Structures are given as C-alpha cells and as structure tokens.
C-alpha cells in the first residue's frame, strides 16, 4: 500500500486528489490530511479514508476537530508546527496543495524525509525555488508538477534531452476579464474576478487568473522547475484552455499537451507516475471543438507578466518579495480595500523598493531568510495600503 498525505485536503486540489483516491481506496494508506477552517470536510474525509492524523492550520479550530473525530482513533493536531510534524510522518507520496507561502515548510519537510512531492503549491517554487530543488536533490526525493501547464511540459519532455529545448510556452485562459477592455478593469470586484470561464478552482487562484498574477507565478515556477532562462518562457492566451503548454525543440518541433480543463488529469498523472492509468476525465472530441485560438497577452492589461520578467532577471529573493507582496495585495483586494489594478501597482512599488536594497535580496535562499523577507514584503504592502507610505516600515 502506498502511504499518502494530503496538505490542503479540503481545498479544490485537495478534494480532486481525494476524488481519485476514493475510487481505489484499497491501494492507499492515508497518513495525514490537513485543512483550515472547514472542519466538517476534514473530519468526514479523515473518517472515510481512515487517515492516521488530521491537522487543522488553525489552533482555535482544534476543539471542533477533536469533537468531530472523537472515538474514531484518528489523531488530531493544529497549527503550523503540527503541519510540519505531519509532513515529517513517513509517506511515499505527499500532495502539496496548501494555498500560499504557508505550503513551503511542509513541502520541505516532506522532501527531507524522502517523500515524492506532488507540487500544486506553486508559491513554494516562486518564493524559494532553489531551496526546494536543492532539498529534493540532497534527500534524493522527487518533485512532480501538478500545476496543469507544468505537468503538460513535464509530459512533453518525456524521453527528451532537456538540452534540446529551445522554449516553453505556457497557455493562459485570460481569466474572468479576458473580454473586458482595459479601462473597465479598475472597477472590477472580487466577485466578478471569481467567475472563471473554464476552470473551477479555489478563490485566490481564480482571482490571480483574472489578473494573470497566476500566470506570472507560473512563469517563475517553470524557470525554477525546469531550470530555464527567462527568455525561454513565453505565454500565450488560449481561451479554450485545452492546450496546456507547448515545448519547442531545437529542430523547430512543438510538442503540445492537450486535454480537458480538469485538474484530476495533472493530479492523476503525478499520482500514477511513471505509469499512465485510466482517469475519470473527459475524452476530448476535437471535431466538435472545431477550433483552437491563440493570442499574445496584452502586457498593459496584465502588468503582472512584466513583473515576472523583472523578478526572474533580478534573481536572489525577489521571488519571495513578489509572492508575499502579491498575497498581501490580494488580501486587500478581497477585503475591498484596494482596486483590481492597484494590486499590480502596489506589488511593483514594493518590488522596486525592496529589490533596490540589494543586501535584502542577495542573500542565501535559506528558510530563515525567505521567511524574513516574506514578512518584510507583507509589512511593506500594509504600510503602502494602510498609511500610503512605504518608507514608514522599510526604513523604520
């Protein structure tokens, strides 16, 4: 039996992972399931899958979790330390599907104990790519991509020599505001941004798709995961979301990965790797689809894509600054405190300011340094949004 843990089990990716596991329960031994505030879901899944341990990220939710699992024999725990301890429980395959930089530490611990890490949590790679990749190497652990574009690239690279790769093209749906003119975007609300045309996902990544911050994170994720240069990674808007990525080779060939927009494909590929097994996903009928469209992204409409280039060229911990600033700006947008276009403006201001202080970002990519810079970037966004003055916090 394969020992499996799922971090972020109650979220969109976590639930799709459980959907696959539930169909073949006899193959898996569930070590740990983790979630946040949705205790009813976490407890129900822990009972159904006979998990050894259930962990909520929130200390104040522990009594509720304990009550929900009383008499089941399932261990319970809460908080960030408990999450790291859960990641330290021996497992063969660990799904990293917490949203945000909070997923980094459990992912690192899972790699340290040698587990294969199925990585949906792209923020880990953006905030600390070299640390994650080096940890995997040091402990002879494997990271398998779960983000659909990166799974697509990974699949297109099967049997190929990475040295023959010229470029990688990630596709983007264009999100909820694909057909909105630039002038209207400033008025866009979080509720509007949450209406994704093709994918059903968690709230935060859905809004990030509308701003293309998600694609910006993914470009950096691709650089870190496949060890590419910034100029080798392109983005194409593809409204149908059927081609997930292309890999272009030195002989001019483009290998595309085509499939229904259903995350169970990429999750299932990572679960069954290195084999392919049947998955409960739609088999595409391309004749009825008729056509596939591709356009270059409008960088004025999606400034996040331009910022991703800045981050990749600056290197160091600028990815940490970018991710943390983006996460915090998104909090303020969801709370209705800043507008949709303000997100990229405040992130750019903080990125410019913090990265100009090179001794801040030109440091080793250790967990301590990443967590320190992450906090500074969040505080810088707070200072900018709440006080309108970045210098207040940065310069003390």
Instruction: Summarize as ranges the residues that interact with Mg ion (CB under 5 A).
Output: 147-149
3-state secondary structure of 177: coil
Interaction of residue 116 with ligand NAD, rule CB under 6 A? no
Q: Which of 61, 66, 89, 122 binds ligand NAD (CB under 6 A)?
A: 122
Contact 359, 370 (CB under 8 A): no
By beta-carbon proximity to ligand NAD, the closer residue of 102 and 247 is 102
- Kindly state whether residue 152 participates in binding ligand NAD, applying the rule CB under 6 A: no
Residue 201 binds to ligand NAD (criterion: CB under 6 A):
yes
How many Å separate Cα 337 from the centre of its chain?
24
- List the single partner that 121 binds among Mg ion, ligand NAD, none, CB under 5 to 8 Å by kind: ligand NAD
202 binds, among ligand NAD, Mg ion, none (CB under 5 to 8 A by kind): ligand NAD
Determine the 3-state secondary structure of 328 from DSSP.
helix
Straight-line distance from the first to the last Cα atom of the chain, in angstroms, rounded to the nearest whole number: 54
Query: Is residue 102 at the binding interface for ligand NAD, with CB under 6 A as the rule?
Result: yes
Among 43, 76, 120, 390, binds ligand NAD (CB under 6 A): 120
The partner in contact with residue 13, picked from ligand NAD, Mg ion, none with C-beta cut-offs of 5 to 8 angstroms by kind, is ligand NAD
Instruction: Identify which of residues 225 and 332 has a Cβ nearer to Mg ion in the complex.
Output: 225
Residue with smaller CB distance to ligand NAD, 250 or 335: 335
- Helices 263-272 and 12-22, interaxial angle, to 10°? 60
DSSP assigned state of 283: P
Q: Of the candidates 5, 11, 144, 325, which one interacts with ligand NAD according to CB under 6 A?
A: 11
Share of the chain residues as helix, strand and coil, in percent rounded to the nearest 5: 55, 15, 35
205 makes contact, choosing from Mg ion, ligand NAD, none, with CB < 5 to 8 Å by partner type, with ligand NAD
Q: Smallest Cα–Cα separation from 309: which of 207, 226, 232?
A: 232
Three-state secondary structure call for residue 167: strand
The answer to whether 98 contacts ligand NAD (rule: CB under 6 A) is yes
Sole binder of ligand NAD in the list 64, 147, 327, 353 (CB under 6 A): 147
Order of strands across the sheet that contains 93-96 = 75-78, 53-56, 28-35, 2-7, 93-96, 116-119, 143-145
244 binds ligand NAD (CB under 6 A): no
Residue from 4, 5, 8, 243 touching ligand NAD (CB under 6 A): that is 8
Stretch that binds ligand NAD, among 65-73, 92-100, 222-230, 359-367 (CB under 6 A): 92-100
Q: How far is the CB of 270 from Mg ion (least distance, A)?
A: 13
Q: List C-alpha distances in Å: 382 to 27, 187, 203, 325.
A: 47, 21, 21, 9
Can residue 144 be called a binding residue for ligand NAD (CB under 6 A)?
Answer: no
DSSP string of 211-269, one letter each residue? HTHHHHHHHHHHHHHHT--GGGEEEEE-TT--EEEEEEETTS-EEEEE--S-HHHHHHH
Tell me how far, at minimum, the Cβ of 392 lies from ligand NAD, in Å.
Answer: 26
Choose among Mg ion, ligand NAD, none what residue 377 binds, the Cβ cut-off being 5 to 8 Å by kind.
none
Cis preceding-peptide flag for 329 (omega within 30 of 0): no
Pairing of strands 75-78, 28-35: unpaired
Q: How far is the CB of 155 from Mg ion (least distance, A)?
A: 14
97 with 7: CB under 8 angstroms?
yes
Total residues in contact with ligand NAD, by rule CB under 6 A: 27
- Positions in the binding site for ligand NAD (CB under 6 A): 8-14, 35-36, 57, 83, 97-100, 102, 120-123, 147, 199, 201-202, 204-205, 263
């Amino acid at each position: 039996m394969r020992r499996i843990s799922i971090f972020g089990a109650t979220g969109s990716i976590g639930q799709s992972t459980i959907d696959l596991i539930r169909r073949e329960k006899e193959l898996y031994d569930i070590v740990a399931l983790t979630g946040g505030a949705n205790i009813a879901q976490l407890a129900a899944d822990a009972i159904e899958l006979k998990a050894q341990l259930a962990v909520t990220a929130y200390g104040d939710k522990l009594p509720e979790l304990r009550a929900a699992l009383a008499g089941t024999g399932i261990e319970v725990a809460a908080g960030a330390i408990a999450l790291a301890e859960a990641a330290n429980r021996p497992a063969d395959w660990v799904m990293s599907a917490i949203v945000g930089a909070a997923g980094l530490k459990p992912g690192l611990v899972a790699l340290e104990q040698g587990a294969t890490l199925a990585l949906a949590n792209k923020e880990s790679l953006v905030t600390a790519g070299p640390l994650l990749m080096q940890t995997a190497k040091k402990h002879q652990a494997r990271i398998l991509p779960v983000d659909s574009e990166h799974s697509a690239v990974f699949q297109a690279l099967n049997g190929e020599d990475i040295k023959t790769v010229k470029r990688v093209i990630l596709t983007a749906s264009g999100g909820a505001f694909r057909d909105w003119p630039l002038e209207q975007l400033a008025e866009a609300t979080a509720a509007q941004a949450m209406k994704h045309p093709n994918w059903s996902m968690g709230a935060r990544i859905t809004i990030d798709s509308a701003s293309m911050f998600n694609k910006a994170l993914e470009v950096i994720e691709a650089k870190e995961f496949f060890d590419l240069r910034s100029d080798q990674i392109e983005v194409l808007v593809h409204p149908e979301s059927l081609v997930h990525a292309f890999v272009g080779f030195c002989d001019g060939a483009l290998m595309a990965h085509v499939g229904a927009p259903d995350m169970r494909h990429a999750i299932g590929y990572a679960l069954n790797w290195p084999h392919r097994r049947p998955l409960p996903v739609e088999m595409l009928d391309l004749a009825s689809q008729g056509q596939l469209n591709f356009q270059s992204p409008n960088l004025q409409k999606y400034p996040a894509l331009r910022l991703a280039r800045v981050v990749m060229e600056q290197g160091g911990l600028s990815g940490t600054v970018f991710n943390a600033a983006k996460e915090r700006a998104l909090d303020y947008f969801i709370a209705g405190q800043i507008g949709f276009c303000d997100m990229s403006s405040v992130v750019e201001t903080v990125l410019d300011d913090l990265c100009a202080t090179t001794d801040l970002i030109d440091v080793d990519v250790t967990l301590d340094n990443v967590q320190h810079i992450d906090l500074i970037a969040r505080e810088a966004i707070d200072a900018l949004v709440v006080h309108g003055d970045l210098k207040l916090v940065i310069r003390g």
